[in-house]
Amino acid sequence: MNRDQELFERARRVIPGGVDSPVRAFGSVGGTPLFISRAEGAYVFDENGDRYVDLVCSWGPALLGHAHPEVVAAVREAAVRGLSFGAPTLAEVELAEAVRARVPAAEQVRFVSTGTEATMTAVRLARGATGRDAIVKFAGCYHGHSDALLAAAGSGVATQGLPGSAGVTQAAARDTIVVDYNDLDALERVFAEAGDRIAAVITEAAPCNMGVVAPAPGFNAALRDLTSRHGALLIVDEVLTGFRVHGGGWLGLEGNAYAPDLVTFGKVVGGGMPLAALGGRADLMQLLAPVGPVYQAGTLSGNPLATAAGLATLRLADRGIYGHVDDRSTQLQLAVGEALTAAGVPHVVQNAGNLFSVFFRDGEVSTYDDAKAQDQAAFARFFHAMLDQKVALPPSAFEAWFLSAAHDDKAMDQIVSALPAAARAAAGS
């Protein structure tokens, strides 16, 4: 048994499944997760002492690469001044200003610690603002693990949600209506039937948690129109896309052609520390306590180490950084497509800006049902063949592949030269 295997066994005795977040357990690909001892630039090192090119990037935050020296220095400087105060700080104001400067829809910003809290608060705020109970979400969009947002689609086109997890009450799920992604007709039917009950539509700016499924052209703008017509709010979840696909997130990439009422951030905005945010129209944000009646709070909210990491990250994330990540992404999308084609593996590569994923099936994916109809066993073989060649992909066929500004020619060469053997493994030959 190697050290990772030993640790996994030990972890499973004291931590359910050995992990603190399910996908880390390698459940859908099998085998033993890497126990990471450190990370630097484009690489992670596991407890066996092996080095891997990392395509997880902490599931998004590591836009600049792991342990960027200037981000680490900012956190160090903050740490010696104190780890947590539970009081307002200059850095929170600066970070809120930095978010607003990049995302015009975020007129005011409230910091929290996780994306889950950001979307949960957005839902509560939407209900408080409209006095309505129902929320519409799309099948395959992930917004964290709060009860209302863990509703699963039932059968039928657009259905009253079913609990998406044990422990979610029927009542919580009942107020969540689940609609197929990219299906405007279904959404219009839902509004025609229940428009006066709907507090908000929540959507990923560009879904990346069922694999990458970009919105059809005009889809988000149509959500804006439809919600406005019915007096419902539009919540755009940029926890994954925000500050990653563009300095202004997906909204910025689409030229801020439409403005959501509320927008949520996480991942990159915290630069690798536990920090997330809710932003939106000032009149709505003013409904949050202490100004308004919608309660929300957090002992560690706006933590000084987290705001330091976030500020340093946003300041460094200039056009050059996004240009680099965009170029690397294009390069890798082409290379993986070529390798899979050469090996005769059915696949489709889809992107939303520099975020992309590979579906192991033929034909475009525009809904969660499409995404599920792929050959997950082929992905698992591909994944392990890459891992054998010291390239760490996200351990699920339903995740984006993450690049960073630290993925240089050397790291890219290692990934690209691993692809042909992995494609042959996927083909089962």
Catalytic residues: 142, 237, 267
d(CA 358, CA 379): 9
* Distance spanning both ends of the chain, measured CA to CA: 28
d(CA 273, CA 112): 11
Cβ-based nearer residue to ligand PLP, 239 or 245: 239
Cβ-based nearer residue to ligand PLP, 268 or 418: 268
Cβ-based nearer residue to ligand PLP, 213 or 345: 213
Cβ-based nearer residue to ligand PLP, 46 or 237: 237
Rounded least distance, CB 43 to ligand PLP, Å: 23
Q: Which of 18, 248, 266, 302 binds ligand PLP (CB under 6 A)?
A: 266
Rounded least distance, CB 137 to ligand PLP, Å: 11
Q: Which of 204, 261, 370, 399 binds ligand PLP (CB under 6 A)?
A: 204
Q: Which of 239, 365, 391, 411 binds ligand PLP (CB under 6 A)?
A: 239
Does the N-terminal peptide bond of residue 290 adopt cis geometry, omega within 30 degrees of 0?
yes
Q: Check residue 333 for interaction with ligand PLP (CB under 6 A).
A: no
**Which string of b and e fits 18-28 if b means at least 16 CB within 10 Å?**
bbeeebbbbeb
Q: Check residue 276 for interaction with ligand PLP (CB under 6 A).
A: yes
The tokens describing 350, both together, are: 């889809």
Provide the β-strand partners of residue 152. 162
Q: Check residue 33 for interaction with ligand PLP (CB under 6 A).
A: no
Alpha-carbon torsion, ordered 208, 209, 213, 216, to 10 deg:
-90
From the CA atom positions of the chain, what is the Rg in Å? Answer: 21
Whether residue 383 contacts residue 394, with contact meaning beta carbons closer than 8 Å, is answered with: no
Q: Check residue 399 for interaction with ligand PLP (CB under 6 A).
A: no
Count of residues in contact with ligand PLP, rule CB under 6 A: 14
Residue showing the smallest CB distance to ligand PLP in the complex: 115
Q: Which contiguous run of DSSP H or E holds residue 116?
A: helix 115-130
Whether residue 275 contacts residue 306, with contact meaning beta carbons closer than 8 Å, is answered with: yes
Give the DSSP letter of residue 389.
T
Whether residue 81 contacts residue 238, with contact meaning beta carbons closer than 8 Å, is answered with: no
Q: Check residue 237 for interaction with ligand PLP (CB under 6 A).
A: yes
Q: Which of 96, 214, 232, 240 binds ligand PLP (CB under 6 A)?
A: 240
Q: Check residue 244 for interaction with ligand PLP (CB under 6 A).
A: no
Q: Which of 143, 328, 347, 384 binds ligand PLP (CB under 6 A)?
A: 143
Residue 100-119 contact track with ligand PLP, rule CB under 6 A, x = bound = --------------xxx--x
Q: Check residue 144 for interaction with ligand PLP (CB under 6 A).
A: yes
d(CA 332, CA 334): 5
Query: What residues line the site for ligand PLP (CB under 6 A)?
Result: 114-116, 119, 142-144, 204, 209, 237, 239-240, 266, 276
